[in-house]
Amino acid sequence: MLTINEMECALRNLCAAEHFSFDIGLRVIKVVYTSRIHRHPAIVNEKFSKEGGTRLHCIHFPFTDLDKVCEYIAQKVGNLSGKTVQFTSTHKDSEECVRIIRDTLRVKMERVNDMRCHVKGTNFLLSNILDEVFVYDHHNVDCRYFFQTCLNSPHSSVYPYVLVNVGTGMSIVRVNSESDFEYIGGSHCGGGAFFGLAQLLIGSADMDELLVMAEDGDHRKVDSLVSDIYGMKYEGLGLPPDLIAGSFGKCSNTKFADQVKNDPDYRKDCIRSLLLMISNSIGQVVSLVLNNEKTNRLFFNGFMVRNHPIIMRTLSYAINFWSKGALQAHFLRHEAFNAAIGAMILGKERLENHGEVDIEKVSWREHYAGCSDLGRFVPRRPTDAAFRGEVLELDCADILMRPFPLLSPSVEYDPDTVDLNSDLAAREFWLTIMEESVHKMCSKAIESQHDSPTAAARADVVAKKYLEQLKLLRDKPFAYGTCNVRNLLDLREQIFQEHDFDDPFKLQKKLENDLAVRELPKVVTKLDGMDDVRERLAEATKGLLAGNVFDWGAKEVVKLMEGKEEFTFQKAMDVVPARPWLNDDLDEFLDASMNGGHKSIVVFVDNSGADVVLGVLPFAREFLKLGSKVTIVSNLLPALNDITFGELIQVMKEVTDRDELLKRHTEKGTFKIMHSGQGSPCLDMRRVDSELCKAVLDDKVDLVVIEGMGRALHTNFNAQFMVPSLKAAVIKTRWLADRMGGDIFSVVCKYEKPIVDLM
């Protein structure tokens, strides 16, 4: 039974809850609701002026706790009278549950078609959760989960895909588009047969117990293998000797059956055989049905499959075996919630909630900090195995995010340069550095709210929580999907925000921006005084790199910046080493720019202060002088000392007051600022604001500049674009310098022209 405390942890923000939907299963119930959340004041934009954002809460809990959960919701949520709650169910006997929900919450209950819910919900998960899809490889002991994303290309779609639902039976649905799907097959052999026969054979239908037994059992004592029939040397049909020729074949003879039954391991062996019989059968039918389908996007879901290693393993094996390697089984991290989410979407469609967010029309991001189990592979509280509730939270981005349209169609885009799931040394380094830096970050956070009496206590909770999560990631790096620098940083950011530290570097950034804006005329005057255009652009590019030395995210720089002497822009210019740099394509970049190769450029910027003001703006001015259009792209949400869109608006106001050239181009529209929609020190090109995507195409951007360690080295270092790109950063950590074969403050100035696609 769930305790009040557990319910509090799982069913959050109920006081601001809006709409509810339910998926009533035989064993587990899923509830989904939206709630209004406090929005970061750091976001300043007329578009986002309305108070608060939307969060989607998805929780599943045992069937037996329904009364308790409903009472808890009713108590917290206040009056829902007259509201309609959508539900879906894959069994007829859900009437009792429906009655409980209706009577306790005092709502109208409306049933929605379960298959439509499954499809809608799956579409939602695939379109919004990065690393939602994974392949399971049992034989890879280091890492059994290989994550994939369906969102990594502007040139392809998630459709068509095939959804296999293994519940009581098994059904196969082909999803052709957002709104079109089709039943293409199914089978009567599924979870019903497994639990039903297990119940009749050994008197238990307890999933956990049965799966442990299956894991331990030896089916070869029960089944007839090819070798049992033909011996080891048989080559008649080309079948491997350990292939199961007949499930339970050894039991069909009374004598053998008695032997089997008297075996102390009988129960285990029998359950394993049963599990294999059903998994193999599902794998075979799916492979055969998919012979005629033109997709290898094959997603399994349903309670039989849901993150059960032995089932994922046998299904993966069976799909591979029966399709002769042509197909691969894929699983979904959050498929448990797909029907309930689908019911929510379908319900909202029917209700036509004007003025409210249309779930399908905007993007959502996984709110790791609120999820119980970091992607379902880790029990929320390992000490409390009895609690079966699981939570997924997603935050509405309020905007629609899309893959950056200039990504190359010929190279698969992976934002992250290092995969911490497979790169053990890198993982250890990053987990350690994150652990070490948490207290420094917390002091910054307390400092940013020096007038709040709770700041210190909240910062303590943040540190404790983040350290706990890091510990867990050390053990189970696949908890978020593929572990990488990007999501270690995102998780930290989310935990700070969750504890009302909406922007720990707020004051620091303000201070540095003000300082840099005052410093700007000096830097500009120096450049404007240079006669040679090429030399001027070279100097501005060096300035871009020098600006990037200023970074509160890098330990080595923090040492410099906190040193006794004032750290000026000129000093930063001196820190930038003499050429040739570690990556030095400066000449090629200048050649191309001088020849008018870049008529429209977009610059993804990094830090506040000197970086953006003294590094990026003079660089931008040089391109404006050359006659190019320039768009500066910042983050939307706060992350470390990275400049946010709100801050950039403020900075530009002050700068254009003092800089005629920038003012003129701003008014002319040849210079503008936009945001990526993101809130991370890294840049994930799979999901940028769709308005930016549109602008980039409208402006015919022909140079993508990515600046800073997080955006150009930890991520995007290997990214390929359809237009030339400049990746510019100063290496400010010893580890990365070592990795890249350079020294601290080594310079990366990587200019690349698109790979010509011969296809």
- Rule CB under 8 A: which residues touch a second copy? 26, 90-92, 113-116, 167-169, 171, 183, 185-201, 205, 222-224, 227-231, 236-239, 243-254, 257, 260-261, 270, 276-277, 280-281, 284-285, 288-289, 291-292
> Among residues 219 and 465, whose Cβ is nearest to a second copy?
219
Query: In 3D, which of 647, 497, 605, 517 has the Cα closest to residue 44?
Result: 647
Instruction: Tell me the closest approach of the beta carbon of residue 321 to a second copy, in angstroms.
Output: 11
Place of tokens 């994930």: 684
CB of 135 to a second copy, least distance (A): 24
| Closer to a second copy by Cβ: residue 52 or 196 | 196
Kindly report the number of other CB atoms within 10 A of residue 540's CB atom.
Answer: 23
Is the Cβ of residue 229 or residue 511 nearer to a second copy in the bound state?
A: 229
The minimum distance between CB 255 and a second copy, in angstroms, equals 10
Closest CA to 573 of 534, 544, 553: 544
* CB of 84 closer than 8 Å to CB of 426: no
Closest CB to a second copy among residues 63, 735: 63
**Helix 424-448 / helix 506-528 crossing angle, nearest 10 deg:** 100
- Given the complex with a second copy, which of 235 and 698 has the nearer CB atom? 235
Of the pair 86, 90, the CB lying nearest a second copy is at 90
Rounded-to-integer distance, Cα 663 and Cα 624, Å: 11
User: What's phi and psi for 373, nearest 5 deg?
Assistant: -135, 20
In the complex with a second copy, which residue's Cβ is closer, 284 or 328? 284
Q: Where are the alpha helices (DSSP H) in 265-382?
A: 266-290, 309-322, 338-351
Whichever of 302 and 477 has its CB closer to a second copy, that residue is 302
Closest approach of a second copy to the CB of residue 305, in Å: 15
The Cα–Cα gap between 626 and 537 comes to 10
Q: Considering the complex, what minimum distance in angstroms separates the CB of residue 339 from a second copy?
A: 13
What is the C-alpha to C-alpha distance for residues 752 and 723, in angstroms, rounded to an integer? 9
Closest listed residue to residue 18, CA positions, set 90, 73, 70, 88: 73
Q: How far is the CB of 309 from a second copy (least distance, A)?
A: 21
- Specify whether the CB–CB gap between 601 and 629 falls below 8 A: yes
Separation CA 493–CA 483 (nearest Å): 16
Side-chain-side CA neighbours of 731 within 13 Å: the count stands at 23
Q: Which ranges constitute the DSSP H helices of 361-452?
A: 424-448
How near is the Cβ of 175 to a second copy at its closest, in Å?
Answer: 14
Helix 95-105 and helix 66-77, axial crossing angle in degrees, nearest 10: 20
> Rounded to whole angstroms, what are the CA distances from 407 to 415, 420, 456, 599, 704?
11, 24, 44, 19, 10
Minimum CB distance to a second copy, residue 318 (Å): 10
Q: What is the Cα–Cα distance from 549 to 532, expressed in whole angstroms? A: 26
- Least Å from the CB of residue 143 to a second copy: 30
Closer CB to a second copy, 249 or 577, in the complex: 249
Shortest Å, Cβ 2 to a second copy = 21
- The structure tokens listed for 548 are 């990037």
The region, left, alpha or beta by phi > 0 then psi within -120 to 50, assigned to residue 216 is alpha
Q: Are 636 and 608 in contact (CB under 8 A)?
A: no
Q: Provide the strand spans (E) within 543-614.
A: 583-584, 600-604
**Which residues make Cβ contacts (< 8 Å) with residue 735, sequence separation at least 6?**
429, 433
Closest to a second copy by CB, 140 or 291: 291
- Beta carbon nearer to a second copy, 327 or 602: 327
Nearer to a second copy, 245 or 649 (CB): 245
State the nearest-atom distance from the C-beta of 241 to a second copy, in Å.
11
Structural contact between residues 370 and 657, judged by C-beta atoms closer than 8 angstroms: no
Smallest distance, a second copy to C-beta of residue 197, A: 5
User: First-to-last CA distance in the chain?
Assistant: 59
Of 247 and 593, the one with the shorter C-beta distance to a second copy is 247
- Is the CB of 302 or the CB of 609 nearer to a second copy? 302
State the minimum distance, in angstroms, from the CB of residue 222 to a second copy.
7
* C-alpha–C-alpha distance, residues 125 and 337, integer Å: 9
Q: Which is nearer to a second copy, 171 or 608 (CB)?
A: 171
CB of 192 to a second copy, least distance (A): 3
Q: What is the distance between the alpha carbons of residues 480 and 489, in angstroms, rounded to a whole number?
A: 12
Let me know: does 605 contact 742? Beta carbons within 8 Å.
no
Among residues 750, 753, 754, the alpha carbon closest in space to that of 541 is found at 750
Shortest distance, position 112 Cβ to a second copy, whole Å: 10
From the CB of 350, what's the least distance to a second copy, in Å? 17
Report d(CA 733, CA 430) in Å as an integer. 11
CB of 243 to a second copy, least distance (A): 8
| No. of helices (H) and no. of strands (E), the chain | 26, 25
Distance CA 643, CA 144 (A): 38
The smaller minimum CB distance to a second copy, of residues 199 and 570, is found at 199
* DSSP codes, 146-181: EEE-S-S-TT--S-SEEEEEESSSEEEEEE-SSS-E
In the complex, the smallest distance separating the C-beta of residue 274 from a second copy, rounded to whole angstroms, is 9
> Of 191 and 415, which has the nearer Cβ to a second copy?
191
Phi, psi of 671 (to 5 degrees): -125, 130
By C-beta, is 199 or 454 nearer to a second copy? 199
In the sheet that 53-62 helps form, which strands lie side by side, from edge to edge? 108-111, 84-89, 17-24, 28-37, 53-62, 390-396, 364-366
CA distance 279 to 316: 9
